[in-house]
Chains A and B, each alone.
Chain A
Amino acid sequence: MRIKELLLFCTAFFLTQSITAGEWHATSAPVELVRNESANYMNPLWSVDGRYLAFTKANYRGILILDTQTQAVNEINDEIGAGFGMLWSQQKPELLTRVAEYRGYRRYSAVKVFQVEVNTEITIVPYQKSMPDVPRWTETGNVYYADNSGIKLVARSNGVTNLAKAKVPQNLFVVQRRALAVTKTPDASPVNVPDFAQMRVINLSWSPDFTKIVFEVIGGTMYTMDADAKNITNLGIGFRPKWSPDSRAIVFMLSEDDGHRFTKSDLYIINADGTGRSEITSTPDILEMNPSWGYDGGSLVYDVLGEGAIYSIEVQHSAE
């Protein structure tokens, strides 16, 4: 990262924002939840009910579940890429993700849902050659994903999955040809969101109440946008944004690197309207990464680079 840019941005940001918005801050020391240095546990994600913590290993290979009631760790999958872009359902402890397998040196991707309570794996899209974005839940608990021909909507009802083609009320945002695109009509080609037509978009995610999305563009800036593709807010520089359970705030990491390895990373929180940017950790020698929120909105989970450990830390807003 360019330190000068960060400095200028942050200076300007704090000058304009710190007066108008309360600050987030950590209220506890970090608590280590689980550790495996050789496997390199990382990228944690709480289930909505707070019972399960999903995380993955180096190279996002496989998914492991920590059951906080039993403290048991169960590896529910060991496939390639399973831990990248995984998402808990807002309705029940089901985990959606895209997995991959290599036939020769060609990659085939499938979409799977893991019913964690009953330890069941459901393949809802079989392995296919092209799937250039991760799948996402719809507001109603269905799943949509993109392939080279457009957006596909998989309706789920009573354990049965079907490809749906009827127009839906919800905008379906995807990253298509590396740009932010949207449609309401499954099986059709989405159209680029004009404001971002020339930008490459990654790490797009819906707010839990499905009223907004957050994403980052290549170059480092994060944005929120209403579900109707209006009300775009520039959140400034940051990476890997994740929504708070109440859809009001976003946690992200701000990392620096030397082109080969990360040299610094800390966690920040910002309100979805761009106010209240707050530094949660400030540890030059500890690289906190891949944060997400606890189910109650009062804690964060994250991993520390090089440790293979996942931590929890309590946070509070000064207005609370």
Chain B
Amino acid sequence: MKRIIALLCILITPQLFAQTITGLDGWTIYLDPGHSQTENMGIYNYSEAQKVVRVALAMRQLFFDHTDIGDVYLSRENDEVSVGLSQRSDEANQLGADWYHSIHSNAGGPDANNTLMLWGQYSDGREKVPNGGKAMSDIMLVNLTDGYRIPTIGSRGDCSFYGGCNGGPYLSVNRRTTMPSELSEAGFHTNPTQNTRNMNADWKRLEAYSFFWSILQFHGIEVPRVGIVTGIITDKETGVPLNGVTVQLGDSTVVTDTYESLFKNYSTDPDLLHNGFYFFENLPDTSFTIHLEKDGYYPDSVQVVLKDDFFTFVDRQMVSKIPPQVTSTIPVASDSGVSILALVQINFNRPMERSSVENAFHITPEVASEFIWQSGDKRLIINPETLQSLTEYHVVIDTTAHDLLGKSMDGNNDGIPGDAFELVFTTGIDEHPPAVSKVYPINGAKLVELQPIVNITFDELLDDSTRNADLFSVANSSGDIISGVWKYFDVDEKTTVNFFPKQQFEPGTVFKTKADMGISDLIGNATKIIRNFSFTTGSDYFRTTSIDDFNGGVTDNWWQPQQSGSTGGIVTDSTNRSFERGNVNVLTSSTGALKINYGWDDSGSHLIRTYLSKGTPRAVEFTKDYILQAYVFGDGSNNGFRFAVDDNVGFSGHEVSPWFEIDWIGWKLVSWNMAKDGAGSWIGDGNLDGTLRIDSFQLTQLDEGDKYGSIIIDDLRLAQSVPVSVAEHDDAKVPDAFVLEQNYPNPFNPETTISFTLTESRPDVHLVVHDILGRHVRTVTQGSFAPGNYKFVWDGRSDRGERMPSGVYTYTLRAKGVFLMKRMVLLK
């Protein structure tokens, strides 16, 4: 039956498309859809790998259906096989294909979306031999960009684009193939709008057409007449693409994607995904009328004249029949006991015309109010001056309020415009002073670190007048006040007080955190008792090695969450990572930190992976004998935070810490004692096998976790717990007569200079390099030295001449009674 239908389709296909395009006889092309299976996951659970293989399949079909091409080879044809880079280029080379075209999409933040073509380029700027990739890229770029209707970065040599290469070309598919080649990056699969279009099968045909025509043009073959109409249908007011629009063109009808037809494969939220995309091809006539219909919208139609040489784009905006309505409020209708400090929130079903709503707004008893608009003018926040206690308030938005198209309010939500909206609520009375809801260190805590950030969190906001260090203190058992810096943070209608001590506390000593009487909330309720919380310090301090203090900024080496295929279940517009200057870790005199904003969607699986792709912090290698630490400013969201590391030995890949529930507000030291705590569960084998390096920070939504929030991370570091007594002994044995200077440059590659100074003669000096595991790497020098300054170059090789891998190394200056050590980073 299928064959009969296929035969009929062939017979009725318009004559112009039945023609065979000549000029490619004997020419072969190797199409390489990048990645494999569901690799490089994009936003909304649709991956780059899934998309590009279907673009390649569509391209092959176009060539086979319409041309006399010799052959079209694909590096993979499905979502099952996993094909590595060496096999792709080896197969193309073995086949002796005339051309190699690699198909990709790009990744970045949610706002990024553009096209890019990359042709093979040597480090001296010349195009790869055999030539042709550049000329093809130049043609493809125009068609792809015009087809996608997004900005472009351009057609670029890969070596220049990536900032250099060793010999080149930079990309494996350009470097290891024996034929002209190029690589396309068509839009960003991390862009919500783009990736929702990518899900549509015809969108991939659109991309395939742009390459197909480019290849014909490259060969000087006339592109046959194009009979394609395509476009995006959106809601006129919101701009949101519309699902389920019936688009009729002549005798043909298509319906834009819906949750049931497509999006259920990628989301459990029926309202999350839209693309509004339609596509008609093989149209024989030159002009048509397009008719659009959708329930709840006014019908639309438009006359279209087809272009002969490219897609004919027809975008339409449809107008909803539903009048503006209020969908929800805070407080809810008839609510009582509402705080006199409360904001009133009114959510509309569509963007509203601001001034019409503000002019139509009344509150009784009358109180002056400030208006704040959010969510694309679909949310109005009313900030009244302080309300009266135990009073019934009436909020009215009368019928003069209207949306952007002038349609007036449907206040009672019956579908008929022309009635006012009314909200009634009653205020309560607040006689409760602020209460301490969380404190660190907790009362009675033992073995507290020697320089803790003290935290006192209250259950409501504190009045500015009581944000006063006179009302808070940390003291030892003798009553001596510990000096430090006090900071106050307001998060989620709560105030947290952080104390950053200037110095380490005495080990093994009892200290007391105090919150005095008179601490007041915003309406003047003040505490009437003193709260004391005592804790005892431990005996160890942390000897630390910085991985990334973020003082120099947050580089692009730290990916946006959306760039990682592991990230999923997020509200992408609310999720990003950024550089934070204002709220940083005072304890370390930090000047910068990494901030992660996040929002979770309604799917069942949530993960943010803020991945460290390269750079000096990535070169810091360590073992599980270390404690991995970071200072984290928590949002009290009860979501999960964890560290992830690369486990380089064997194939165990990635390991993670157990989840830390972010149940604190303010700054806190988060420590993963890897040997003691073990690994959590992700994609590794759960064993920390050997050499490790940082992979990412990760977040997830735990059971009771908030849907939105943000955290700040500062001073990512390695630590070793060292008894104070040992440290004092270590320090004591370093005489002033010897100085070991920091190596220069550091980090370095391939060599670095180590200097030391002796003011006394010594017969037994050793300058030795060890790796991070303490294994001997290289004796740089040894022997008898007279007083003076000495410089030695370490070339990054072991005693056996082996080039050492990137990582942290130590160098020690050792002589009788002398042991000086410093760290350095070899970075390749």
A→B interface (CB under 8 Å): 1-7, 10, 29-30, 36-40, 58-61, 80-81, 84-85, 98, 100, 102, 105-107, 109, 129-134, 175, 178, 200, 202-203, 216, 218-220, 239-240, 253, 255-257, 259-262, 282-286, 289, 306-308
Contact = CB atoms under 8 A, between A and B. Distances in A.
A3 B178 contact: no
B98 A106 contact: yes
A59 B129 contact: yes
Identify which of B83, B87, B91, B806 gathers the most chain A CB atoms within 10 Å of its CB. B87
A134 B178 contact: no
B39 interface: yes
Given A10-B651, A259-B35, A260-B172, A203 B84 contact: no
Given A216-B87, A260-B104, 19 more contacts: A7-B650, A7-B652, A7-B685, A61-B129, A81-B93, A100-B178, A100-B179, A105-B98, A105-B218, A178-B91, A202-B90, A202-B94, A220-B82, A240-B86, A255-B86, A257-B172, A286-B803, A286-B805, A289-B86
A280 to B, nearest CB: 14
Identify which of A40, A216, A289 gathers the most chain B CB atoms within 10 Å of its CB. A40
B86 A84 contact: no
Interface in B672-690: 683, 685
B723 interface: no
Contact of A100 (B87, B96, B651, B828): B96
A40 B166 contact: yes
A255 B85 contact: yes
Contacts of B800: 29
B801 interface: yes
Task: Rank and list the top 4 A-B pairs by shortest CB-CB distance, nearest first.
Answer: A40-B167, A81-B178, A285-B805, A7-B651
Contacts of A255: 84-86
Given A29-B801, A178-B91, A308-B166, A257 B84 contact: yes
Nearest to B158: A260
B82 A107 contact: no
Contacts of A239: 84, 86-87, 90
A59 B218 contact: no
A129 B26 contact: yes
B84 A80 contact: no
B669 to A, nearest CB: 30
A1 B84 contact: yes
B82 A219 contact: yes
B362 interface: no
Please classify the interface of chain A as helix (H, G, I), strand (E, B), loop, or mixed, using the class held by over half of its residues.
Answer: loop
B27 A106 contact: yes
A283 B93 contact: no
Contact of A105 (B76, B132, B167, B691): B132
B370 interface: no
Contacts of B171: 260-261
Nearest to B179: A107
A131 B96 contact: yes
A285 B352 CA distance: 57
A259 B86 CA distance: 10
Contacts of A175: 94
Interface stretch (B108-116, B120-128, B245-253, B509-517): B120-128
A218 B172 CA distance: 17
B33 to A, nearest CB: 10
Nearest to A254: B651
B175 interface: yes
A203 B95 CA distance: 11
A216 B166 CA distance: 29
B132 to A, nearest CB: 5
B778 interface: no
A38 B121 CA distance: 12
Identify which of B28, B178, B219, B802 gathers the most chain A CB atoms within 10 Å of its CB. B178
